[in-house]
Chain A
Amino acid sequence: MIIENTKLAFKAMAGSKLRTLLSLLGIVIGVAAVVAILTLGQSITTNISDSISSSGPDLITFKPYTDSEFSNIFTEQYADTLKDLDDNIETVMAVNDTSGTTVRFGQEDYSAHIYGVPSSYYANLDMEMESGEFFSITDSVTNAQTIVLGYDVADDLFPTGDAVGKKVMVYRGTSGKPYTVVGVLEEKDAIFSLSFDYGVFIPFSTYNARFNKSDTVNSYIIKVNDENVTLDVSDNLEDYYDDLLGEDYFRIMSPTTMAEMASSVTSTLSSFLAAVAAISLLVGGIGIMNIMLVSVSERTKEIGIRKALGAAPAIIRGQFICESLVITLIGGVIGVILGLSVSYFASVQMGTTFVMSWLSVIVSMGFSMVIGLFFGWYPALKASQLDPIEALNYE
């Protein structure tokens, strides 16, 4: 009976092509929108997570705020205290930074983010050099005026790429001091973590002597011994400093926690957008119901004939529900193909990796079938309840 009903559904659809096409369109657009949004959301989430966790899945940044009553304990030496807080902490680096520092070479100015970091920073953060080297431990100890430039800084000040060995002026207010460029970092994309491309790096001691009046430290970069414990360690630190400082007086960030946050934001957003798209699917369903009601009324005579030949109400109902299901199923398949194509091309355009979301395909197909069933039910019921005599005499 299902095969016969499906054949009949195709015959009925072929009988009114334009009408079927238009009602199909509602479902196609709805399904395509849901699939595209969910797939694109999934792709973006995956890409963000990958990108964040590739930029140091074993790192945690701890930033005490300077208005805390304890702010004066956060010195370079505090790094050792911090290291002892958790066995999984491998090393802790004190880092100071300021934004908007002018770096000048010749007539060119660059407003860079300046970091005072230990020489071990380079190795611990898996940085790569484009040219030259990172400053040495000797530079750190001797307060040397050496500087490493981020890719974009070097590209801007030294378009010809011969930065190493040159002297740049680094300004604090209006007074500038010369720093020797010892290295240039490789270009590195970072979405949520800090991008080194726009920063310049000088030895921590040099930074403190010049830019910092006190011994306080802006932030500590904590490296754990296993990336799988990053979340645990950052939770433990969070608890510890909650008690010590109060939750408003510090911030703990890690690529892993940021990746989680980013995923949850994108997935919430894409779920919300998918829900909006699902409304269009609902509207498509109303279109199906409309077309099915027209179909029932046009085919009253046929229904009467079938009833006279012995079709029970359930059979008539089945025939019309099958027809509405066939329409939504076809619409669903076309919609899935369209939605995946759209998200594929959008991924390519945005330069992100396309990630197939089977869940979205199953959910949207299932949803469109439910819509077919739901909106096909009433017209089918109406057809099955027609009086056979009246239906037979219908002209």
Chain B
Amino acid sequence: MKTIIKVDHASRFYTVGDITVKALNDVSLEIKEGEFTSIMGPSGSGKSTMMNLIGCLDSPSDGNIYIDGQSTFNMDETELADLRNKKVGFIFQQFNLLSKLSALENVTTPLLYSGIKKKKREEMAIAALQKVGLGDRMYHRPNEMSGGQKQRVAVARAIVTNPSIILADEPTGALDSKTGKQIMDLFWGLHNEGRTIIFVTHDKALGEQCLRQVHIKDGKMVEEGVTHDN
């Protein structure tokens, strides 16, 4: 199967005054197309740094990261933005919807940055919203929706560009367990469509539901586990 993400001896150092903090230290990892992977670790372990690097929000201090075969080394802000737009769909714990925009406008936003025409943008966004079961909530603003609905909008926004990776950072962290389960079901549905999903969490039980688990501690990869698909 095709390798979607290749983390090649990647490190990320932060310099604070005279001290250099190694947030991620020489990590290598490959994620294949269609995999449902969790990245787990306690807070401060470096899993957020890992997510930022894979999500092209940041670039490594050392080593390299390949997204869908493309090296991110030496990419400037504009190139990284373009890569994020085309290859990565983000889902955040706090939904991160644009509060002044309707659900539909939120979902069309990444398409706007891809330079897609208005009519086509709306068609694609409507399809994505219908897919997550929000066909009747398109013109509602985030403050008129429940947590679960907001997260569904976020999922629709993440999948609307048909990205190579869906990167979810604690997507059920702000939801009650019932709603959380519904969102997880949505992820499983996406997985079954063959999408590559990376699930970042500190919740062991949740992470272990994923087919592949990557554990990070003190900036290093410590363990990998595989749960077989059933």
Contacts and interface: CB of A to CB of B under 8 A. Distances in A.
B84 A310 contact: yes
Interface stretch (B38-46, B51-59, B183-191, B198-206): B51-59
A15 B81 CA distance: 28
A384 to B, nearest CB: 8
B100 A312 contact: no
A308 B109 CA distance: 11
Contacts of B85: 309-311
Q: A interface, how many residues as a size bin?
A: 20 to 34
Interface string A294-319: 00000001101111111111110000
Contacts of A311: 81, 85, 113
A302 B81 contact: no
Q: B interface, how many residues as a size bin?
A: 20 to 34
Contacts of A261: none
Nearest to A391: B57
A392 interface: yes
A1 B113 CA distance: 9
Interface string A1-13: 1001000000110
A388 interface: yes
A269 interface: no
Contacts of A209: none
Given A302-B98, A313-B78, A308 B55 contact: yes
A265 interface: no
Nearest to B76: A313
A4 B200 CA distance: 33
A312 B77 contact: yes
Interface in A275-329: 301-302, 304-315
Interface of A is mostly: helix
A392 B93 CA distance: 12
B98 A15 contact: no
A1 B78 contact: no
Interface string B64-106: 0000000000000110011011100010100011111100000
A22 interface: no
25 contacts: A11-B101, A301-B96, A304-B96, A305-B98, A307-B57, A307-B81, A307-B84, A308-B57, A309-B85, A309-B113, A309-B157, A310-B82, A312-B77, A312-B78, A312-B81, A312-B82, A313-B77, A313-B78, A315-B81, A315-B113, A388-B57, A389-B52, A389-B58, A392-B57, A392-B92
Given A309-B109, A310-B110, A312-B77, 12 more contacts: A301-B96, A302-B99, A305-B96, A308-B55, A308-B96, A310-B161, A311-B81, A311-B85, A312-B113, A313-B78, A314-B78, A392-B92
